Amino acid sequence: ADDFASSQTHGGPATARRGARTRRVALGECDAFVSHSWSDDGDAKFCALRTWAEAFTARFGRTPLLWVDKFSLNQGKLSQGLASLPVNLAGCARLVCLLGPTYLDRLWTLLELLTFTRMGADHSALVVLPIGRGVPAAGAEDTAGLEADQGGCGAKAEVIEKVKDFALRDATCFDHAERDHLLEVIASGCGSHLAFERMLRAVLMPALTGSVRPTV
């Protein structure tokens, strides 16, 4: 997290300095798998993630190690990421979800949530950070820094409505040729589109409303 910059939360290919910002770790040593949509505002995502990372540092005395797709996947062979997704998630202590306006529109982020749930992860290992539309997230005042309302009341209300209105049929991906395949994978993981939609609300709504609080 020390080497992370706001530019890295924007879209586009990884920079030539990617190698200097990454290192290999053993399975289970990564602190957080960062799940986000490249279509959401990069500065707002970075602000929310930085606030969470600072709170993590205050609690544990070190900066967190983050799994970020831009640094950890070959952006030219994203289909390989599907096979490695369970391992990458299993190697992280928690899932940090940067839940912005387009997060639920992207099939890859939905697949990450599905994999997290189907692996039997404790919901308290899910950290949900609401992201607004182009407005940097106002850092939460909570000293634990692991609350769901890091994006402010406006962002939180917006994403709650998105969760309530979510329909899997509206989700897309950058590679339209992969859309049918990813929809099939998601539907087969839950049994149907409707079952997945119910599962998604059951996972995200408690985190957003505070009825389930992260334990780490």
**pLDDT tens figures, 151-175:** 556 788 999 999 999 999 999 987 7
Is the pLDDT at 199 greater than 90? The verdict is yes
pLDDT at 13 over 90: no
Compute the distance between CA of residue 26 and CA of residue 39 in angstroms, rounded to an integer.
31
Looking up tokens 């939460």, which residue turns up?
A: 140
3-state DSSP assignment of residue 150: coil
The answer to whether the CB of 156 falls within 8 A of the CB of 149 is yes
The closest alpha carbon to 212, from 127, 129, 137, belongs to 127
φ/ψ of 102, rounded to 5, equals -105, 0
Q: Encoding tokens for residue 214?
A: 């992260």
Q: Band of the pLDDT at 215, cuts 50, 70, 90?
A: low
The string of pLDDT tens digits covering residues 88-137 is 888 999 999 999 999 999 998 999 999 999 888 788 899 999 998 754 43
What is the reported pTM? 0.79
CA–CA separation, 216 and 214 (whole Å): 6
User: What is the reported pLDDT for 98?
Assistant: 96
Cα-only R_g, the chain: 16
